[in-house]
A and B are shown apart, each in its own frame.
Chain A
Amino acid sequence: MDSFSFWFFGGCALVGATLVALMPRLVHSAFSLVLALIGVAGLYWGLGADFLGGVQLLVYVGGITILFIYGIMLTPRDATRTKLTALLFPGLIAVVPVAVMLHLAWQGLAVAFHAPAELAEPQPTVDAIGRAFLTRDQYLIPFELASLVLLAALVGAVFLARRRKES
C-alpha cells in the first residue's frame, strides 16, 4: 500500500472515529461513522483484501448505517443531544491510559517488526474466498451457521421491533 493512500484512508478512519466520539448531535455522529467505515474499507483494499473492502462498503456503509439512521429517526429527538463539555472530564481521564496503550502498541510492534519483509504482491481474493467458504474442511460449517444466525437475527429483529397491539 502506498504511503498516500495509507495516510488518507487511515486519516479518514481516525477522524471519523474521533467525530463519532465527540459530535454533540446523534445524526452527525452517524455520518462520521460513515466516514470511519469508508476509511477502514480503504485500508482493507490497501491490505490486498479487495472482497472484504467491498463487503465493508456494501454491508456497513450501505446497510448498517441506514439501520442507524432509521433508528435515529424513530426515536425521540431531545434524547439525542449531548453537551460537549460533558465529555471533557471523562476525556481527560481517558487520555492517560490511551497514551500508554498507543505507545505500547507502537513501540512493541516497532521492535518486533521493525524491518517488514518484502510483502508478496496482493492477489485477487474473491476466487479463493469463494472456494474457502464452500470447502468442507475450511469454512463450510461456519458459513452455513452464519446464514442461520442471520436468518434468526433478522426474524428476531422484526419480531422485536413490531408494535404490540395491546399498548
Chain B
Amino acid sequence: MDHLAGYVFIGAAMFVLGVFTMVTRRNAIYVLMGAELILNAAALNFVAFARHLGNRLDGQMFAIFIVILAAAEAAVALGIVLQIHHHFPSIDVSKPDRLGD
C-alpha cells in the first residue's frame, strides 16, 4: 500500500478530527491538542507528496520546520493557558472575552 492516496486520506482524516476537537471543546488544552493534530496532518501531507513526486528532501525540511514551530507554539500557548487559569477560575476558552482588566 505504497500509495499517495492512503497518506492523503490519513492526513485529511487527522485534519478533520483536529478541527472537530478545536470546535467542539471549550477547554483550552483540548483546543491545543486539536491544533497539534492539524499540524501533524499538514506535515504528513508534505512528506507524502515529496516522496511520491520526485523523492525530494524539501517536504521533509518543511515538516521539520513545522515541528519546530509547533514546539514553540505549544510552549507559548500553555503559558497563556496558565495565565488564563490564574485570572479566571477555569480555562474555558469562552470565558476570557475582554481585554485588559
Contact = CB atoms under 8 A, between A and B. Distances in A.
Interface of A: 1, 3, 6-7, 10, 13-14, 17-18, 20-21, 26, 29-30, 33, 36-37, 40, 43-44, 47-49, 51-52, 55-56, 59-60, 63-64, 67-68, 70-72, 74-76, 79-80, 82, 86-87, 90-91, 94, 98, 101-102, 105-106, 109-110, 113, 116, 119-120, 122, 125, 128-129, 132, 139, 142, 146, 149-150, 153-154, 156-161, 163-164, 167
Interface string B42-66: 0110011001100101001101110
A127 to B, nearest CB: 11
Interface of B: 1-10, 12-14, 16-18, 20-21, 23-25, 27, 29-30, 32-34, 36-37, 40, 43-44, 47-48, 51-52, 55, 57, 60-61, 63-65, 67-76, 78-83, 85-86, 89-92
Given A44-B63, A106-B8, A116-B52, 16 more contacts: A6-B2, A7-B1, A13-B14, A14-B10, A21-B20, A30-B29, A37-B40, A64-B70, A68-B74, A71-B32, A75-B85, A87-B24, A101-B12, A109-B5, A116-B2, A116-B3
A110 B5 contact: yes
23 contacts: A6-B6, A14-B14, A17-B13, A26-B27, A29-B30, A30-B29, A30-B33, A37-B40, A47-B47, A67-B74, A71-B82, A75-B29, A76-B90, A79-B92, A98-B13, A102-B16, A106-B8, A106-B9, A119-B51, A149-B72, A153-B76, A158-B79, A161-B82
